[in-house]
Chains A and B, each alone.
Chain A
Amino acid sequence: MANAAAPTPKANMGAPAPRVDARLKVTGQARYPSDTPVGNPAFAVLVTSTIATGRIERLDLDGARAVPGVLDILTYENTGELKGVKFGQGSSTSIEDLGPEIQQAGQIIAVVVADTFEAATDAASRVKPTYSEQTPSATFGSPGVTQEDATKVSPQHKHLPQAGDAEAAFAGAPVVIDLEYETPPQHHNPMELFTTTCAWTADHLTVYEPSQFVYGLKNGVAQRLGIDPDKVRVVSSYAGGAFGSKGTMTPRTAMIALAAKRLNRPVKLVATRAQGFTIATYRAETRHHIRLGAARDGKLVGYSHEGFEVSSRPDPYVVAGVEDSAQLYAFGAVATKVNVVHADRNTPGYMRSPPVVPYIYALESAMDEMAQKLGMDPIAFRRVNDTMNSPIGNRPYSSRSLMTCYDQAAAAFGWKDRNPQPGAMRDGDWLVGYGCATAVYPTHTGPAAARVRLKPNGEARVQIAAHEIGNGAYTVIGQMAAERLGIDLASVTVEIGDSRLPPAPVAGGSNTTASSCSAVKKTCNLIRARLFHAAVTANDGPLAGRSADDLMLQDGKVVANDGAGESFADIFRRMGVAVVEDYAEFVPDGLKPQAIADLYAGKVDMVGGSHGDKVMYAMGAELVEVRVHVLTREIRVPRIVGAFAAGRLMNTRTVHSQLMGGMIWGISSALHEATEIDPRYARYVNDNLADYMIPVNADVDQVQVILVSEVDHDVNPAGVKGLGELANVGTAAAITNAVHHATGIRVRKLPIRLEKLLQA
């Protein structure tokens, strides 16, 4: 029986090996950080502020302290020893203190520690703060928000893309559209709650916390505690979903570390789902003003895009996705601007495909509207504007297979059956609409280091502090080692997620496979070279005197192309070693050698995307069918087809799952997800999984993933572009476009809820 989950590899694709951690995950033995046994833990429960801005005047702890079993309560009055870590330099937010100043709703104001979880929870509910409260500014349009030009306040975004004279282009264009779009706040809501367990042994701290960057967390926590980073170890063998939420240090970690230190006992925190909405980050709401100008034949002549993004009062978090959207088509002239709007909210942060999700949604919706205005098929319109060179500086793409993706997806979907007239397709009581959009994600590669040990029996151990967040890191890293060392995947043990291992970058920006596999490849190549050298320089033996260039590793042996070979065991014996072990540091082209030292210190720099002489992007085409009930207007997505090209694919099984899950994320962001804010209080009101909608199984029917072969030698030694954040980009636009096709109604504010389609 065909197994859709394990597609047959095409050119430049790796085998669909089952996940090496699969057995642990289906038996409940995979240890997520809060599963780790620590001796006699005390339990911490957080108390968070119910106001968004103001000051704690009094904190009545008597009721809480009276609860039997309560051991300690941390507040602003006894946590002064915690040091601040700047936003953007290891911390997700500047709002790190437990008060007395309150700068966001849901700010942690107390940590209650007790012998049992039940007692700690009970006591936490009895902590009684008295606030002096100010009227908060909640979001766009609220009185008191302030606005800044992103290029002035965000060091990462000092220059935004510009090309030619966009105003002149619009003035001369026969067809112009001028539109605004809006996206809501969204929360990652990984299934795993935000947890932290801290245990001290003398002056050494071990932190068990789900993390996308154990080195960042290690160094950040050390800084907050004012201790040597070498005395901090962070362990995150598995993260129960992350999506960006576990990439940067949040304030809770140092608090739990301090609580454990004060008690001289391990302390375990499992924050509530509701607290997760405010003690970590989220995708902020955005607004977009887009203009496109085109000639009658569909050739674009100008694109302008001004973005507005909400951030917290103190921090200029901004994603500035125009950096990527501006590369996407042959736009002609380009003008972009991004504004940060400061409100009394927690600081936003990376959430799956941070820059491109909102900006490409807006652009790809506008592309559809322009195609409609031109009377063109939306795929044909994109083909007319396809390009192998970025309009920004006319730099070439390292590779680009967008239209191949469209062609393969369109054929599989049956796009030719689309009646271009909106509202013309119907099946019984359901209006049917087809829509499409482009998925795009910048390729990122970062520095990484790896240690690999090979034993004479052909078993290997790979050590690299990469992160398993569902991305298949254990598996693809093992596959790279197995391939380079000529052994079975089953013979490779992969150790990741521990700051005692050589460092890897944050599992963000879809760089894990590219960076880690490049480092593992480099390390394995050192081992290969040593074995080859030993084999060819021997006085005797089957490979003596040959050229190392003619050798390879296969089935636990060094072999020549004529079939001659020598076992690892024999070579090791001659070398006089029990194991061969190497360590290598990989620094991608374009980064300084210092990058590895920085990585050890918890700082990560990456190359790729829109920067550099060549622009590097993974791309895809998503085609979707929506159904809208003719009367009650429920919106359902029975079918979505995506074709994606992302350089080398290490494992078609894990890749398929990421792309499939990504498209469902896209459906979710189009139809379901929105964190609702009560502007009176600047608070999130649907801070739970019954009210914050994500799709359930019944919402998902046919999801087809097409893997498009693509070879790219420029991106990195592994040839991998990374695609964990590709497939959820563009989907919201594809669905918006399909809803328009089904109903004739154009929704320009996400999510698309049925009330927006109830108009007569």
Chain B
Amino acid sequence: MRPFIYERVSDWAAATQAAGGGASAPVSYLAGGTTLVDLMRLDVMRPQRVIDINALQDGRYGRIELGQNGLRLGALVRMADAAAHPDVRHHYPVIGQSLQLAASAQLRNMASLGGNVLQRTRCTYFRDVSYAACNKRNPGSGCAALAGVNRMHAVLGGSDHCIATYPGDFGQALIALDATVDLISPDGARTIPFAKLHRQPGDTPDQETMLRPGELIVSFTVPAGPWTRRSLYLKVRDRQSYEFALASAAVALDLEDGAVREARIALGGVATVPWRAADAEAALRGKTIDEQTAMAAADAAFAGAQGHGHNDFKIELGKRTLRRALRQAAALEI
């Protein structure tokens, strides 16, 4: 690990000031540390200053608030606390489950929600700096995964420059439910759709988010909707627990007399970013969920998918995961 200057801040102004546009050297925020310390130890991330923002926890960064219009989750809320929160579990089961099925109890105690959505890919060729070719680490160096061992890699949203999978789970729940992200920086506060937070790799896979230098996630707001209660997160993996998804689906349904009024669908483990499956949602609108309509939705969701060898199976697996999730969500007793 490279040396860095460690600073603790107690208010956001000091934080964003320390990390903001004027900072001459690479700066990272430290919350749970489960991504940052990991990647610093691997020499992938080399911040020269680390701004510990955990002392911000007492403000709105650390709260979970349920209101008429939706759910507000502070960015410094720990995954475990959000997953266990009765309001989250009752009104937004897909959020609780996506957090609950991620990582381990220890990591969920540490990791913040803000850090969670910013976690970096698990691609070996990214995480091991001794591989020369990684456009995400070294723009222009190539992508070793394209013709490499890519069982865990993405079949949706990739490019000729990068097929690294977005590894998170919570992000799928957020994007499915049309969440927004509240941000703050020395330039001021702004709110953006969560769907706009992550960038597909395209030809700049090193640029993973739309965050500006020094910008800090304050909270997530998840709008209320008739679909949030009939929601779930299904995660398919080799192990029963403590593993990243091979394929996952976040599904929320608003049914009327068995027919779909609104469907909200996002896919994980198969895409380069939290992946909203709008085509699948459209395919379901007005339909009753059965084997055939679920299959049609799954086909729509993966219409543009592309495998790269080892991960070819994820197209079929992803479809089956979505089919299973839809059938399960439709059958939920609310």
A and B touch in the complex (CB under 8 A): yes
| Partner-B contacts on A (CB < 8 A) | 50, 118, 121-122, 125, 274, 629, 631-634, 636, 671-672, 676-678, 680, 685-686, 690-691, 693, 695-699, 753-755, 758
Query: Does B324 contact A693, Cβ atoms closer than 8 Å?
Result: no
| Nearest CB of B to A115, in Å | 14
Q: Which residues of B sit under 8 angstroms from A125, Cβ to Cβ? A: 2, 43
Judge whether A758 and B317 touch: CB under 8 Å: yes
| A685 CB, nearest partner CB in chain B, Å | 4
Q: Does B246 contact A (CB under 8 A)?
A: yes
Contact A753-B320, Cβ < 8 Å, known A125-B2, A680-B147: no
28 contacts between A and B (CB under 8 A): A50-B130, A121-B1, A121-B41, A125-B43, A629-B324, A631-B320, A631-B323, A631-B324, A632-B247, A632-B320, A632-B321, A633-B317, A671-B238, A672-B239, A680-B148, A685-B128, A690-B244, A693-B239, A695-B239, A696-B240, A698-B239, A698-B241, A698-B242, A754-B238, A754-B317, A755-B313, A755-B317, A758-B320
- Measured CA separation A754–B147 after assembly (Å): 22
Also in contact, A693 and B238, with CB within 8 A (given A632-B317, A755-B313): yes
What residue of chain B has the Cβ atom nearest to residue A272's Cβ?
B41
Query: Which residues of the other chain, A, contact B323 by a CB distance below 8 angstroms?
Result: 631
A121-B1, A274-B128 are known; give 16 further A-B pairs, CB within 8 A: A629-B324, A631-B320, A632-B317, A634-B238, A672-B238, A676-B151, A678-B149, A680-B148, A685-B124, A685-B125, A685-B128, A691-B122, A693-B243, A696-B240, A697-B241, A754-B317
Docked CA distance A754–B3 (Å): 43
A-B CB contacts (within 8 Å), total count: 79
A690-B122, A755-B313 as given contacts; A696 in contact with B242, CB under 8 Å: yes
Inter-chain contact B238/A753, CB cutoff 8 Å: yes
A49 to chain B: closest residue by CB: B130
**Are A118 and B122 in contact, with the CB atoms below 8 A?**
no
Chain B count of residues within 8 A CB distance of the other chain: 35
**Could you say which of A50, A121, A122, A676 contacts B149, with CB atoms under 8 Å apart?**
A676
- CB-CB under 8 A from A695, the residues of chain B are 239
Question: By CB atoms of chain B within 10 A, which of A118, A274, A634, A680 has the most?
Answer: A634
Contact B148 A685, beta carbon cutoff 8 Å: yes
B-side binding surface: helix, strand, loop or mixed? loop
Q: Restricting to B228-248, which residues have a CB under 8 Å from any CB of A?
A: 236-244, 246-247
Q: Is B316 an interface residue (CB 8 A)?
A: yes
Annotate B228-271 by CB proximity to A: 1 below 8 A, 0 otherwise: 00000000111111111011000000000000000000000000
Shortest distance between the CB of B92 and any CB in chain A (Å): 24
The B286-329 residues at the A interface (CB cut-off 8 A) are: 313, 316-317, 320-321, 323-324
A122 with B3: in contact, given A686-B124, A690-B122, A691-B122 (CB under 8 Å)? Answer: yes
- A699→B237 CA distance, assembly (Å): 11
| Residues in A whose Cβ lies below 8 Å from that of B243 | 690, 693
Across the two chains, which residue of chain B brings its CB closest to A672?
B238
Q: How far is the CB of A632 from chain B (nearest CB, A)?
A: 5
CA distance A358 to B238 in the complex (A): 22
Q: Point out the residues of chain B lying under 8 angstroms from A678, CB to CB.
A: 144, 148-149
Expressed in whole angstroms, the Cα–Cα distance for A101 and B148 within the complex equals 26
B194 CB, min distance to chain A CBs, angstroms: 26
The chain A residue with its CB closest to the CB of B127 is: A688
Q: Which residue of B lies closest to A68 (CB)?
A: B3
Q: Could you say which residues of chain A place their CB within 8 Å of the CB of B240?
A: 636, 696, 698-699
Contacting pair B238 A685 (CB below 8 A):
no
Interface digits, B140-163 against A, CB 8 Å rule (1 contact, 0 not)?
000010011101100000000000
Separation of A636 and B237 alpha carbons in the complex (Å) = 11
Cβ distance B163 to chain A, nearest Cβ, rounded Å: 14
CB distance from B247 to the nearest CB of A (A): 8
B98 to A: closest C-beta gap in Å: 17
**Are A754 and B246 interface neighbours, CB within 8 A?**
yes
Query: Smallest CB–CB gap between B242 and chain A, Å?
Result: 5
* Docked complex Cα distance between A686 and B124 (Å): 7
Q: Please tell me if the beta carbons of B320 and A696 are within 8 angstroms of each other in the complex.
A: no
Contacts of B313 on A, CB cut-off 8 Å?
A: 754-755, 758
Judging by beta carbons under 8 Å apart, are A632 and B122 in contact?
no
Chain A's closest residue to B244 (CB) is: A690
6 smallest CB-CB distances across A and B, nearest first, come from A755-B313, A698-B241, A698-B240, A50-B130, A685-B124, A685-B149
For the complex formed, measure the closest distance between the CB of A191 and the CB atoms of chain B, giving whole angstroms.
15
- List residues of chain B with CB within 8 A of the CB of A754: 236, 238, 246, 313, 317
Which B residues lie within 8 Å of A758 (CB)? Answer: 313, 316-317, 320
- Please, how many angstroms separate the alpha-carbon atoms of A633 and B320 in the complex? 9
Q: Nearest Cβ in chain B — how far from A592, in angstroms?
A: 49
